């Protein structure tokens, strides 16, 4: 996202087309190209929203037909363009399905403790220990699996370990969990496309059965771990983990309190190493290299300074990406930055809407599964807003001919405008993905981003250069001061009233309308772009119309939520499930919630809620006294036919075993039931539903 900030600020705004051209269809003939990636994105999202897998032949046949329609309508511009949009939508759907077909099938996770053997592919440093990803894993000596297993090691297990080592460990493993509520985030889909088959925790110490031969991957990993260890040793525990994250990408070591402070203030993007960081690193190296070249008459007469500076900046970006782990967001940001540098070298605009369209198209071809995720949606919406916004009013921040006070004021105004554009465009998608809004994000970023760009990351780069001389503390000290200042800003903003507003989950259609409206506003020119305001307004309104369920049962029936008058009562029926409870809190963001153990408030294992309309039973024994006139009966245990009656909904342990999480909403005298099984359907990443469920349909 912030790579674009540097490029857009450096580029001159494009001259506005003459008014007459705006009325001409020829002025928009080339704009259709910008909407092709939007159509492709829509096709990908449509694929992931389906409840059943389409036939494998459907997309290829449809693509061929769409191409034929384009050929037939080639002399009809309107029809040709509509067919091109359909073609790219089908390309997106087909590419997403092909990616799913290329992934290994899910594995069957055994119950109980298993012995896991395999090769370590990565190691994560957590605040409470280490977590390893084991590739080519074998369970209890079985055949090698096509999927990896991720295991959290026991606290204190400090065995020397490197990527590539062969290991053996006894662990509890768990298959991907089902969503906490119907329509909730699908962690199974994330793990499916990331190549994970199971996660778990070790019950014994890990044994290294074979040490891997030295390689560049292992050497790079050890270098990153060494840098992180030296940073943590030289800095206080409050700022050291953040510095280690910015320099090595090991963000798991950041304490929960500091992480939450950044999230509340709208500064979470500073902890997620991606566009902002690589943009600062490459921008600083570009400026430094160009300044140094200016001192050499020999170089200036033979090589353009921009070419040398671009080469230095790209090399530095590659090094920084390597030090931070070459994870997907940093690779995507590096590719965008390379596109910016290529534009500078070619003497073209550093970043344009066409360049953004090409980048989006390439990324969707490589990683179609990234489109439903927050990183893709927030990054591209922010970059689109930056380019379109500076294209429209960027000339107002021109500092030519202004005094130092004017330049300072316009720089501050430009920074605030940039935060408004990037944060405002990405905020609806963040609200959809994370169910929270930070209204003071502009204030926090107005201070934190310049600190990061001018103090924190430059000092960190100097520290890396000084580490071979064991003088890194000279640069880590000012880096720590900058991080401490950012923490102070985050805590101050986090204490303001309503600093973090939790909102309820939204259906997908308002976000789709919002994305369409933003595309129209950003990609069109002139007054025609105002057509995008209607879908934006409708989308924002639709995001606020979500209604929390009146009854909600978790996938394991360990939590039951019931609306009882003005209070939503959440009953813990077994041991506390804090993870699911945290997922539920945004669902009831606008309600008063009371959490209690069912055994403490339900005498004899029976509780009546909502004037007797909902009956909770601890087990089948509690149903011996009858079920009265309850419309809904809930139990965390199998009821085995008890309370069955015409017009009554009975939800027990078998119900959620068959259908996953269940939500009910009362509408007058009717009850609307939604299950996770109905929302997710049968897809490659969805765990197989019990066979009994298929027979019931």
Banded pLDDT at 17 (limits 50, 70, 90): very low
Cβ atoms of residues 271 and 251 within 8 Å: yes
5 vs 159, residue with greater confidence: 159
pLDDT number for residue 320 = 92
Residues 205-249 pLDDT 10s: 999 999 887 777 778 888 888 898 899 989 998 899 999 999 998
pLDDT for 290 beyond 90? no
**Alpha helices per DSSP H over 435-577:** 441-451, 457-466, 473-494, 508-523, 533-543
Residues 431-490 pLDDT 10s: 888 888 888 888 888 888 889 988 999 999 999 999 999 999 999 999 999 999 999 999
Composition of the chain by helix, strand, coil, percent to 5 = 55, 15, 30
Spatial neighbors of 186 by CB under 8 A, at least 6 apart, are 179, 680, 685, 686
Q: How far apart are CA 427 and CA 418, in angstroms?
A: 14
Q: How far apart are CA 618 and CA 599, in angstroms?
A: 8
3-class DSSP string for 602-661? CHHHEEEECCCCEEEECCHHHHCCCCCCCCEEECCCCCCCCCCCCCCEEECHHHHHHHCC
pLDDT for 29 beyond 80? no
Mean pLDDT of the chain: 85
Banded pLDDT at 696 (limits 50, 70, 90): very low
For residues 563-587, one letter each, b for 16 or more C-beta atoms within 10 angstroms of the residue's C-beta and e for the rest, the string is bbeeebbbbbbeeebeebbebbebb
Token duo for residue 166: 């062969």
Residues 307, 308, 313, 314, CA torsion sign = positive
Q: How far apart are CA 633 and CA 644, in angstroms?
A: 9
Banded pLDDT at 500 (limits 50, 70, 90): confident
- Return the minimum-mean-pLDDT range out of 89-103, 391-405, 593-607, 680-694: 391-405
DSSP 420-460: HHHHHHHHHHHHHHHSEE-TTHHHHHHHHHHHIIIIIHHHH
Distances (CA, A) of 307 to 279, 286, 312, 634: 17, 10, 9, 69
Quick one: residue 426, left, alpha or beta (phi over 0 = left, psi -120 to 50 = alpha)?
alpha
pLDDT for 401 beyond 70? no
pLDDT number for residue 4 = 41
- Return the minimum-mean-pLDDT range out of 292-301, 334-343, 469-478: 292-301
Neighbours of 143 (CB within 10 A): 7
Cβ atoms of residues 257 and 494 within 8 Å: no
Banded pLDDT at 634 (limits 50, 70, 90): very high
**Alpha helices per DSSP H over 56-166:** 58-72, 77-102
pLDDT number for residue 24 = 43
User: Helix, strand, or coil here: 358?
Assistant: helix
Q: How far apart are CA 513 and CA 543, in angstroms?
A: 10
pLDDT number for residue 14 = 42
Give the whole-number percent of the chain exceeding pLDDT 90: 39
pLDDT number for residue 622 = 86
In a 13 Å sphere around the CA of 261, the CA atoms on its Cβ side amount to 21
Q: Give, to the nearest 10 degrees, the angle between helix 328-345 and helix 275-293.
A: 30
Quick one: residue 232, left, alpha or beta (phi over 0 = left, psi -120 to 50 = alpha)?
alpha
Cβ atoms of residues 489 and 448 within 8 Å: yes
Token duo for residue 691: 């066979």
Residues 510-535 pLDDT 10s: 999 999 999 999 888 878 888 889 99
Over residues 540-567, the mean pLDDT reads 89
Q: Specify the pTM.
A: 0.85
């Amino acid at each position: 996202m912030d790579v674009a900030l540097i490029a857009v600020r450096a580029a001159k705004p494009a001259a506005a087309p003459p008014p007459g051209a705006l009325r001409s269809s020829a002025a928009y003939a080339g704009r259709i190209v910008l909407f092709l990636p939007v159509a492709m994105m829509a096709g990908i999202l449509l694929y992931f929203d389906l409840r059943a897998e389409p036939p494998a032949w459907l997309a290829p046949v449809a693509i061929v037909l769409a191409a034929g329609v384009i050929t037939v309508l080639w002399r009809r511009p309107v029809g040709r363009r509509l067919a091109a949009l359909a073609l790219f939508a089908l390309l997106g759907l087909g590419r997403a399905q092909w990616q799913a077909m290329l992934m290994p099938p899910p594995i069957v996770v055994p119950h109980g403790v298993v012995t896991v053997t395999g090769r370590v592919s990565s190691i994560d440093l957590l605040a409470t220990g280490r977590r390893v990803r084991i590739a080519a894993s074998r369970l209890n000596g079985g055949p090698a699996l096509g999927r990896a297993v991720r295991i959290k090691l026991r606290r204190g297990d400090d065995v020397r370990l490197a990527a590539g080592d062969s290991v053996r460990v006894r662990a509890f493993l768990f298959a991907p969990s089902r969503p906490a509520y119907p329509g909730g985030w699908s962690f199974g889909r994330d793990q499916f496309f990331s190549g994970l088959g199971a996660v778990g925790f070790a019950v014994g110490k890990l044994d290294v059965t074979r040490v891997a031969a030295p390689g560049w991957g292992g050497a790079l990993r050890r270098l990153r771990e060494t840098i992180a260890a030296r940073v943590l040793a030289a800095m206080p525990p409050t700022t050291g983990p953040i510095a280690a994250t910015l320099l090595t990408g090991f963000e798991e070591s950041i304490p929960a309190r500091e992480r939450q402070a950044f999230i509340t203030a709208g500064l979470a993007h500073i902890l997620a190493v991606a566009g902002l960081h690589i943009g600062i690193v490459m921008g600083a190296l570009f400026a430094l290299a160009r300044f140094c070249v200016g001192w050499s008459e020999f170089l200036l007469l033979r090589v353009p300074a921009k070419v040398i500076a671009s080469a230095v900046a790209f090399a530095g970006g590659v090094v920084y990406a390597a030090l931070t782990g070459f994870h997907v967001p940093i690779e995507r940001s590096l590719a965008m930055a390379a596109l910016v540098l290529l534009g500078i070298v070619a003497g073209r605009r550093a970043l344009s809407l066409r360049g953004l369209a090409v980048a989006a198209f390439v990324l969707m071809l490589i990683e179609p599964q990234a489109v439903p995720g927050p990183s893709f949606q927030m990054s591209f919406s922010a970059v689109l807003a930056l380019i379109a916004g500076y294209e429209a009013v960027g000339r107002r921040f021109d500092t030519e001919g202004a005094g130092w006070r004017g330049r300072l004021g316009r720089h501050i105004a430009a920074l605030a405008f940039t935060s408004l554009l990037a944060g405002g465009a990405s905020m609806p998608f963040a609200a959809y993905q994370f169910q929270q809004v930070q209204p003071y994000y502009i204030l926090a970023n107005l201070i934190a981003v310049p600190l990061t760009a001018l103090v924190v990351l430059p000092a960190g780069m100097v520290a890396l250069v000084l580490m071979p001389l064991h003088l890194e503390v000279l640069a880590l000290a000012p880096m720590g001061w900058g991080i401490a200042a950012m923490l102070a800003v985050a805590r101050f903003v986090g204490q303001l009233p309503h600093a973090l507003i939790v909102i309820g989950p939204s259906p997908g259609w308002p976000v789709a309308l919002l994305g369409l409206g933003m595309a129209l506003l950003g990609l069109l020119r002139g007054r025609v772009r105002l057509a995008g305001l209607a879908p934006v307004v409708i989308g924002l309104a639709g995001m606020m119309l979500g209604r929390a369920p009146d009854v909600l049962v978790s996938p394991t029936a360990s939590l039951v939520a019931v609306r009882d008058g003005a209070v939503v009562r959440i009953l813990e029926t077994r041991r506390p499930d804090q993870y699911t409870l945290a997922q539920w809190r945004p669902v009831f963001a606008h309600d008063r919630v009371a959490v209690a153990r069912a055994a403490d408030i339900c005498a004899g294992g029976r509780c009546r809620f909502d004037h007797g309309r909902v009956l909770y039973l601890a087990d089948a024994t509690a149903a011996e006294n009858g079920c009265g006139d309850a419309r809904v009966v809930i139990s965390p245990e199998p009821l085995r036919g008890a309370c069955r009656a015409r017009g009554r909904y009975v939800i027990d342990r078998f119900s959620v075993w068959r259908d996953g999480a269940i939500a009910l909403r009362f509408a007058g005298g009717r009850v609307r039931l939604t299950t996770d099984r109905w929302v997710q359907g049968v897809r490659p990443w969805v765990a197989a539903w019990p066979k009994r469920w298929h027979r019931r349909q």
